[in-house]
Amino acid sequence: MSGDSLGGEKPIRVLLVGPSLEILGGQAVQARRLLTGLSETEGVEVSFLPVNPRLPWPLQLLRRIKYVRTVVTSIAYLGSLPPRLLRTDVVVAFSAGYWSFLLAPVPAILLGRLLGRRVILYYHTGEAEDHLRRHGWFAKPLMRLAHRVVVPSDFLVEVFARYGLVSISVANFIEINTMPFRERTILAPRFLSNRNLEELYNVPCTLRAFAAIQKELPNAVLIVAGSGSQEQMLRRMVKSLGLDNVSFVGSVPPEQMGSLYDAADIYLNSPNIDNMPLSIIEALACGLPVVSTDAGGIPFVIRNEVNGLLVERNDDVGMAAAALRLLREPDLATCLTTTARAEVVERYSWEAVGPQWHRVCRDLLGLTGPTR
């Protein structure tokens, strides 16, 4: 929202630096949602700078070449960063770990400090422990250059604290109005997995669990959304396990995910490493009971037998048993989903999270008065 805020204060100019939806994943989705939310916040002017900018047509051909596309895209991003920082008060730099940390948020942190801007490092990945253990010797000094480190879960607050870093938790949020809630009084064996098909998300565990489920319920259906390096291996695994009714639907745009959640009755999630997956929150918002492994920050969102069911990592037998239990105990499923939906509205909506973001930005600039 542009224009002066109440009380005659100039609006806070916020620049979000992160991946666009051309890189479909949790960071890109959250960046778009934060952009939308802050643009509707009184007293804030917000803009977005993608770390993966769209290149002019002749250069787009270079994006097909591994490594070359990284160099060309990084040069385009770095060239656009200084003029955008000159027109902002607070920069929010989205961050994953490893090389992505160096290529995307670090330039924004360094240039932001050089130009006298207030800098927020917004760190997302569940791989933070491994990142800091392996590369903390140079990552930590760079992180400390940010005026604030914001993370989306208390899990990451604890991880960062173990490495001597102070952070504050501002939860991920979803656009609840776009998530179709459906009360499921009787569950059908229609399952959904919605994670990138990469090793850390351990989708093979979900397939093994579904194999056990299908032995008891031959008409069971599994939809696998997402894409990644393990897709062909997972397709071969479906054949080797002799599974029926498994559909790979690829990466699904956020605006189309609601229909997939609505078509399913149980959400399966089996990562070995994770933080605070948006997909779980979305499933809970849609009334889907969730069966998940207890990786990383997931127990900070799912409390076993309160708003979902948890099993140990890589426990496909336990996952299958939990899913079958939901089908056999509809009252349990109703209790879990009722509690979960109420918690999503209370904790993971923009109405809950937006004032926290506004407060962080105002505090950095030394402003006082009510947040909105």
Does residue 200 carry a pLDDT above 60? yes
- 356 closest CA partner among 110, 86, 117, 92: 92
CA distance 108 to 253: 28
Fold entry, domain 178-347: Rossmann fold (3.40.50)
User: What residue ranges do the domains of the chain occupy?
Assistant: 6-173+349-364, 178-347
- Percent share of the chain, pLDDT over 90: 81
Give residue 355's pLDDT band: very low, low, confident or very high (50, 70, 90): very high
330-352 confidence digits (pLDDT tens): 999 999 999 999 999 999 999 99
How far from each other are the two terminal CA atoms of the chain, in whole angstroms? 12
204-232 confidence digits (pLDDT tens): 999 999 999 999 999 999 999 999 999 99
Per-residue pLDDT, 20? 87
CATH number of 6-173+349-364: 3.40.50.2000
Arithmetic mean of pLDDT, 312-316: 98
Per-residue pLDDT, 188? 97
266-301 confidence digits (pLDDT tens): 999 999 999 999 999 999 999 999 999 999 999 999
Per-residue pLDDT, 57? 63
When the pLDDT of each residue in the chain is averaged and rounded to a whole number, the result is 91
Distance of CA 130 to the CA centre of its chain: 18
Helix then strand then coil, % of the chain, to nearest 5: 50, 15, 35
Per-residue pLDDT, 63? 60
Does residue 3 carry a pLDDT above 60? no
Does residue 100 carry a pLDDT above 60? yes
Please give the residue that has the higher pLDDT: either 56 or 190.
190
Evaluate whether 143 touches 121 at the Cβ level (below 8 Å). Answer: yes
Arithmetic mean of pLDDT, 222-249: 97
Give residue 67's pLDDT band: very low, low, confident or very high (50, 70, 90): low
Per-residue pLDDT, 120? 98
Give residue 74's pLDDT band: very low, low, confident or very high (50, 70, 90): confident
168-193 confidence digits (pLDDT tens): 999 999 999 888 899 998 999 999 99
- 154 closest CA partner among 166, 168, 141: 168
Asked whether this chain's domains 6-173+349-364 and 178-347 adopt the same fold, the reply is yes
Per-residue pLDDT, 72? 80
Arithmetic mean of pLDDT, 117-143: 95
Residue 79 exposed, middle or buried by CB count within 10 Å (0-12, 13-18, 19+): exposed
Does residue 2 carry a pLDDT above 50? no
Close Cβ partners of 150 (under 8 Å, ≥ 6 residues apart):
92, 120, 121, 122, 123, 167, 168, 169, 170, 360
Which two three-digit tokens encode residue 243? 């599974």
Q: Which residues pair with 223 in a beta bridge?
A: 192, 247
CA distance 47 to 50: 10
Strand order through the sheet with 266-269: 246-250, 221-225, 190-194, 266-269, 290-293, 309-311
Arithmetic mean of pLDDT, 38-50: 94
Does residue 129 carry a pLDDT above 70? yes
Arithmetic mean of pLDDT, 348-367: 93
Give residue 4's pLDDT band: very low, low, confident or very high (50, 70, 90): very low
Give residue 9's pLDDT band: very low, low, confident or very high (50, 70, 90): confident
Least confident stretch, 130-139, 149-158, 176-185, 230-239: 176-185
Give residue 60's pLDDT band: very low, low, confident or very high (50, 70, 90): low
Per-residue pLDDT, 372? 40
Arithmetic mean of pLDDT, 301-311: 97
Give residue 71's pLDDT band: very low, low, confident or very high (50, 70, 90): confident
- Percent share of the chain, pLDDT over 70: 92
Provide the residue type at 242 as one letter.
G
Q: Tell me phi and psi for residue 151, to 5 degrees.
A: -130, 155
